Amino acid sequence: MTQPRQPAVAGMFYPAGPDILRHDIARMLREAKLPTGPVLTPKALLVPHAGYVYSGPIAAAAYALLAPLRGQIRRVVLLGPAHRVALRGLALPTATAFATPLGNVPIDAAAAQIALRLPQVQLSDLAHAQEHSLEVQLPFLQSVLDDFTLLPLVVGQATAQEVAAVIDALWGGAETLIAISSDLSHYQPYANAQVLDAATAAKVLALQPLTSHEDACGATPLNGLLDVARRRHLHASLLDLRNSGDTAGDRSRVVGYAAFAFTEPSEGQSNVQHRIHH
């Protein structure tokens, strides 16, 4: 696949028209509530990946934090779970760019070569062709950052340590953002989801690994990040925690969404306040 990877879910998960897409993202970013206390400078984000009508406002709470970093972040390492293809390890595409209605995002070829040195990383265009967990993040990133390159990794069956090794290899400095794409509980009654997702959020805040993909479909990439976060003494801040019953869905059967920022120790996190929106 030497051509750009084409959008698979434009017109379904988010608008296919660039003007409407820009308008919708701008509105969600404008309405996002920023945390009180010191300004957060995220090294990593956890963001949901459902259709924008459902999870877009929650994702916006994380992406709004990147506004001051628009010209600083030059590379995004994006990891999300495989939904369509059975996969061992992590997969990169052979494409040179990912296309969205807002334009093309170039793949970071140098970073890809670093990742491919690890035995758990392979090339698989099939894993990427229909995968939405990475694609839905790109219009947000294109809206909040200037020129940046992308390293998109679909995560299949892998250990937290295998994922962590990839994140460590690509950690970089202030120019690199790590983004993990994951929803939380799936198809629970509203009240059940609130309890389950609050428990999952508490684990993430404590940098404790999740034990089940029932807690988060992206538990594998998230656990890899949490492994790195513990070793590097990152601090997790909860930005938003809601579900589809709060946004645009039926409350009898909901999907949970959370947005988190992970900051490095120099960020003076002792005064950061955690806020949960119900």
Helix axes 109-116, 160-169, angle to 10 degrees: 140
- At residue 34, the pLDDT reads 87
The residues spanned by each domain of the chain are: 18-149+161-266
Neighbours of 17 (CB within 10 A): 12
pLDDT at residue 234, as a whole number = 97
From the list 193, 186, 225, 184, the residue with the least C-alpha distance to 208 is 225
**pLDDT for 35:** 86
Which residue type, as a one-letter code, is found at position 148? Answer: F
Q: What is the pLDDT of residue 268?
A: 44
| Tens-level pLDDT at each residue, the chain (278 residues) | 568 999 999 999 999 999 999 999 999 999 998 888 888 999 999 999 999 999 999 999 999 999 999 999 999 999 999 998 989 999 999 999 999 999 999 999 999 999 999 999 999 999 999 999 999 999 999 999 999 999 999 999 999 999 999 999 999 999 999 999 999 999 999 999 999 999 999 999 999 999 988 899 999 999 999 999 999 999 999 999 999 999 997 999 999 999 999 999 974 443 333 333 33
- Nearest-10 Cα torsion for 223, 216, 237, 240: 160
The confidence score (pLDDT) of residue 50 equals 94
261 phi and psi angles, rounded to 5 deg:
-115, 140
d(CA 123, CA 29): 34
Rg (CA), the chain: 17
Which architecture characterizes domain 18-149+161-266 according to CATH?
3-Layer(aba) Sandwich (3.40)
pTM for this model (two decimals): 0.93
- pLDDT value, residue 68: 94
